[in-house]
Amino acid sequence: MILIKNIKLLVQVEQESRDRVAGRDMAELPVISDAFLYLKEGVIKDFGPMDNIENSDFFGEFSAEETQVIDAAERLVLPSFCDSHTHVVVAGSREIEYIDKIKGLSYEEIAKRGGGILNSARLLQQTPEDSLYEQAMGRIEEIMMLGTGAVEIKSGYGLTVEDELKMLRVIRRLKENTPLIIKSTFLGAHAVPAEYKDRQNQYVDIVVNEMIPRVAQEGLADYIDVFCDRGFFSVEETERILEAGYKYGLQGKLHANELDYSGGIQTGVKYGALSVDHLEFTGDEEINALLNSSTMPTLLPGAAFFLGMVYPPARKMIDAGLPVALASDYNPGSSPSGNMQFVMSLGCIKMRMIPQEVINAATINGACAMGVENLAGSVAREKVANLIITKKIPGYEFIPYSYGSDNVDKVIIKGEVYDK
């Protein structure tokens, strides 16, 4: 049993858990000041104001020896972040392209030269599975100590049947061996391999006829993704791939509208995707499509920041009544950071979201965008005990405000405490 007592502010508490928050409700962040929190067997059991602790069913249930007490005076406790879009299984990094970018080449120009995703794919194909696993584990440990408690991870740097399966097996090993909540997404249609450059259709055939059945047979993915954008995969190709995935029960989570008004958002909505992600190019038509759906718009401002491109219109989307989730997109080409605290800062500074909105977007809405809203994303009874204990800070607004700082002091994952 763990008791966290004297918590200055317990953030994102729910008496009854919600699936997500949208529109004006995103500005509401339920908190309890001077709070207690009981955790048992990896699960949140009870919480409330310190004044009330003696009325808790768990008060005095265990002896002092059986209870680990953490005094969180002057500290905040939040649910861990749910990072619903990452590519942390990848071989190496791409800082050379970063220099090309600084010198003026665009993301698309680098991709056209055979760099970008294809560069990572070449390296991944030559990298043994164990090495990929070790590298990814390092990234997982890094983001966990920055406050992430649930993470979605995509394939998409394999681009052959065997290499896509290799990536997904690495994700499965991560699921088995890390305490984080992990969901895996098959992204065979991330880029067209160089040898299929003038016969993209044949690559889509491989995705549909060979990759998807194998991935499904081996139970290696929870979701399916397509990079539906200018220069990558068209709406028609995306529909073909989604239909093939849906036959095996793989729900969509699309890369959409990063580079243009690609139709990706409408396609995701049409197919009941769990989320559509990126959304830099979102206008009224796209907003209207999303308003009539349960698809979670997921914004990845780290990519716009790193590539120096336009940001998604978060303010307009929330003002129109939409929910918004924030994720890191941690990947070597467009967002080589998995720091959700910084992503929240970008949400505030670059997309005019207020602190309550970015916290909702990084917790409950992130959980919804990866289908774990019943397990994570808020402080609610019977949810998994995945929590952040902050350093001594004045309030939750300080987290996005102090951009680049790490405000996390300890994390609790499945009821285990990890100190920095």
Residues that bind Fe ion (CB under 5 A): 329
Give the residue with the Cβ less far from ligand NIG, 20 or 278. 278
CB of 371 to Fe ion, least distance (A): 17
Per CB under 6 A, does 225 bind ligand NIG? no
Q: Measure the CA–CA gap between 388 and 76, rounded to whole angstroms.
A: 8
Among 46, 152, 225, 258, binds ligand NIG (CB under 6 A): 258
Q: Which amino acid is at 357?
A: E
- With CB under 5 to 8 Å by kind, the binding choice for 303 among Fe ion, ligand NIG, none is ligand NIG
Per CB under 6 A, does 227 bind ligand NIG? yes
Using left for φ > 0, alpha for ψ between -120 and 50, and beta otherwise, residue 76 falls in beta
Burial class (CB in 10 A: 0-12, 13-18, 19+), 310: exposed
Q: CB of 73 within 8 A of CB of 10?
A: no
Token reading at 376: 């994570």
Residue spans of alpha helices (H) in 127-263: 129-145, 161-177, 200-206, 212-217, 235-247
Per CB under 6 A, does 144 bind ligand NIG? no
Token reading at 207: 């995705």
Among 188, 301, 313, 332, binds ligand NIG (CB under 6 A): 332
Pairing verdict, β 251-256 and 275-278 = parallel
Q: Measure the CA–CA gap between 160 and 209, rounded to whole angstroms.
A: 12
Among 303, 358, 359, 364, binds ligand NIG (CB under 6 A): 303
Token reading at 239: 């529909």
- With CB under 5 to 8 Å by kind, the binding choice for 84 among Fe ion, ligand NIG, none is none
Residue spans of alpha helices (H) in 300-409: 301-307, 314-319, 340-351, 355-362, 364-369, 398-401
Q: Measure the CA–CA gap between 258 and 255, rounded to whole angstroms.
A: 7
Segment contacting ligand NIG by CB under 6 A, of 65-73, 136-144, 290-298, 328-336: 328-336
Among 116, 179, 188, 347, binds ligand NIG (CB under 6 A): 116
- With CB under 5 to 8 Å by kind, the binding choice for 117 among ligand NIG, Fe ion, none is ligand NIG
- With CB under 5 to 8 Å by kind, the binding choice for 333 among ligand NIG, Fe ion, none is ligand NIG
Going by C-alpha positions, the residue among 14, 2, 174, 147 that lies closest to residue 71 is 2
Minimal CB distance residue for ligand NIG = 333
CB of 326 to ligand NIG, least distance (A): 14
CB of 2 to ligand NIG, least distance (A): 37
Give the residue with the Cβ less far from Fe ion, 174 or 303. 303
Q: CB of 155 within 8 A of CB of 211?
A: no
- With CB under 5 to 8 Å by kind, the binding choice for 120 among Fe ion, ligand NIG, none is ligand NIG
CB of 6 to Fe ion, least distance (A): 40
Q: Measure the CA–CA gap between 379 and 69, rounded to whole angstroms.
A: 18
List residues near ligand NIG by CB under 6 A: 87, 116-117, 120, 227, 255, 258, 303, 329, 331-334
